């Protein structure tokens, strides 16, 4: 992604498929790259959420990344909110988007002060 792309976002979310360990293993790289490229004034407070999607797939039998491991990663990054979602079953999608919107607005408000 280009530097111009990163600067357009007041917040970000990372979505990962719960059945793919590879996507989970790239979270640190993705998170750090985003912060390096975007250059927010306070990287520790920049709003992120993590979304584990497609939780409907096979009732979770193909899950490669345990929820506990995802939550531990979020805790290690300053308690990033974590949501497991299913667009197919309309589960938690709105909640995740409302959360990142709220965090972005709060962050923008804090930056204006």
Residue ranges and CATH numbers for the domains of the chain are: 3-112 (3.40.50.300)
- Give the per-residue pLDDT at 56: 72
The model's pTM: 0.77
Per-residue pLDDT of the chain (113 residues; tens, 9 = 90+): 444 444 444 455 555 555 578 888 888 998 998 899 888 888 888 899 999 888 876 666 677 888 999 999 999 999 999 999 988 889 999 999 999 999 989 988 777 65
- Give the per-residue pLDDT at 54: 81
Q: How far is CA 16 from CA 3, 5, 19, 49, 54, in A?
A: 23, 20, 9, 11, 9
- Give the per-residue pLDDT at 3: 45
């Amino acid at each position: 992604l280009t530097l111009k792309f990163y600067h357009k976002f007041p917040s970000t979310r990372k979505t990962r498929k719960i059945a793919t360990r590879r996507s989970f293993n790239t979270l640190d790289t993705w998170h750090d790259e985003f912060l390096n490229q975007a250059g927010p004034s306070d990287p520790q407070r920049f709003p992120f959420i993590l979304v584990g999607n497609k939780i409907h797939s096979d009732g979770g039998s193909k899950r490669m990344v345990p929820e506990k491991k995802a939550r531990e990663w979020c805790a290690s990054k300053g308690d990033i909110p974590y949501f497991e979602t299913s667009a197919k079953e309309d589960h938690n999608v709105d909640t995740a988007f409302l959360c990142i919107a709220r965090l972005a607005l709060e962050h923008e408000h804090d930056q204006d002060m």
